[in-house]
Amino acid sequence: MLPILRVNRNIRTIRRYRTILGVLIKYGFGHFIEQLNIDYYLELGKRIISLGKADKAIERLTQPQRLRMAMEELGPTFIKLGQLLSTRADILPAPYINEFRKLQDKVPAVPTIEIRKHLQDELGAPVDELFAEFRSTPIATASIAQVHLGRLHSGEQVAFKVRRPGIVQTIETDIDILTGLAYLIEQHIEGAKIYNPSGLVNEFRRTITRELNFNLEGRTVERFAANFAEDATVYIPKVFWKFSRETILTMEYIPGIKISELEELRRRGYDLKEIASRGADNFLKQILEHGLFHGDPHPGNLFILPDHVICMLDYGMVGRLGYDLKEQLINLLQALLARDVDSIISQLLYSGELTDDSDLKSLRRDLDEFIDDYYEILLQDIKAGKLLADFIEILVHHHIHLSPDLMLLAKALVTMEGVGRQLDPEFNMIAHLRPFMERIVRERLSPGHMSRDFLKVANAYGALARNLPRDIKEFLNRLNRNQFKIDLEHRGLDRLATDMDRSSNRVSFALIIGSLIVGSSLIIQTDKGPMLFGLPLLGLVGYLIAGLLGLWLAVGILRSGRL
């Protein structure tokens, strides 16, 4: 029996398992569930699910549509998971990405009395004492939080983002289940390890844990404010820390115009081309200068204030580019803009994750064709979104997985380009990108930048030289004390152990059935004891039990699909 401690077996989790698996079966994924051997791993005395068939109307839908509907029915954790997966075009095919982008939180609002009680418990005083005004009707509801408007005694209009009570326990239970399912997928679905299901769940756990902590979101807002402190074209709302906690975020309310309300913007005299230009420049600053960017810049999170000032809202999903990752991105962009296949491959080798299935010759051929397709197109005519989509399609084909933050960036960049084209049909993201890249190249060639790089490399080699004698000494000491160890990992044996365990159980079961038949036959020959139809009753009962057990064993073998 495999030690699958990843599957939490408490009653609450078992019930949730039944719900999740039942919904997946409802939407036509029963065959997938059966492959995972869920009942075997949970070690229950009876099956926790009964495999049935999906409704005929559901069966007519595509698989991506059915999976998206299942996620919506399963609630907040799976909706958030789908939204995260919608950024991973390097893992999922386009039909799934397009469907998961449609995922929406459709949940009823938490009653106002519960919200007021939560605010009082967290802030230590009744709502009416803390605030001059608190509006009962939320302006937005989602699976994790809902937003109410209000006013402080000092006069500022504010928005309260309040976490839904009990949501943390629900999400923790679901993530435990997802961890167990990811493990089973890796064990039983051929080829699944290439996509690293366990790694995806761990990434999701990290992302949603940060999103549940509103203190972290508040600090992120202040980092954006510091980054754009000298930029008059961007406004970041103020955080009121006195009225904020881990489950509450109180921010300045911004009564601007949504960037998607084009007619209202025109009526008030705004220059839509100027807004599109400022939005592109501000977003590229987030990426290439600050290394901290808004991960979900859809029109509902972008507001326009007087003088064409852009205000960004909702900082629950952000991307971070450390120094090394930002340098890799810049090098990759340079190679793409220069149409240099060799440089592109070098960056993919350095920053991506090439698997054993990757074929460098085939990769080079596909990249050559990719470059040729865009070679005759003027840079100002290239759509960044289309270029990225084609490039990522090559990565998917060759099983190259880039950093999750880079994939989130790709999605955000496509979203920003779409917003820009709504404002200005002639908008071109490449035209805004080129000046940034040219300035970065000039900075890299400056004496100050080159000296900093040289010092960084020198320090790295100096640290290596200082540590090398100690490491060699430790290595030799371990050899002398016979304490040198090498860890070997046996891959593929878990499935073998499972199959051997199942086979031995079936053999034992068959021996029991055979013994019952032999024993019952001997009893029949004795003609002793209680009789039924002229035959010993005990022998007949033995035959009956053996028959039922044999039928049970046959059904189990047939349902497993392995005779």
The residues annotated as belonging to the active site are 296
Residue in 146, 149, 152 with CA at minimum distance from that of residue 130: 152
Give the span between the Cα atoms of 240 and 252, in whole angstroms. Answer: 8
Measured between alpha carbons, how far is residue 352 from residues 197, 363, 386, 396, 403 in Å?
17, 13, 21, 12, 7
Residue in 351, 426, 81, 543 with CA at minimum distance from that of residue 535: 543
Give the other-Cβ count within 10 Å of 97's Cβ.
19
Cβ(343)–Cβ(335) below 8 Å: yes
Give the span between the Cα atoms of 405 and 390, in whole angstroms. Answer: 19
Cβ(408)–Cβ(329) below 8 Å: no
CA dihedral 441, 444, 446, 450 (to 10 degrees): -160
Spell out the alpha helix ranges (H) of 376-492: 384-397, 404-423, 429-444, 447-480
Cβ(38)–Cβ(184) below 8 Å: yes
Cβ(20)–Cβ(177) below 8 Å: yes
Please tell me the total number of residues recorded for the chain in this structure.
Answer: 563
How does strand 309-312 pair with strand 234-235?
Answer: parallel
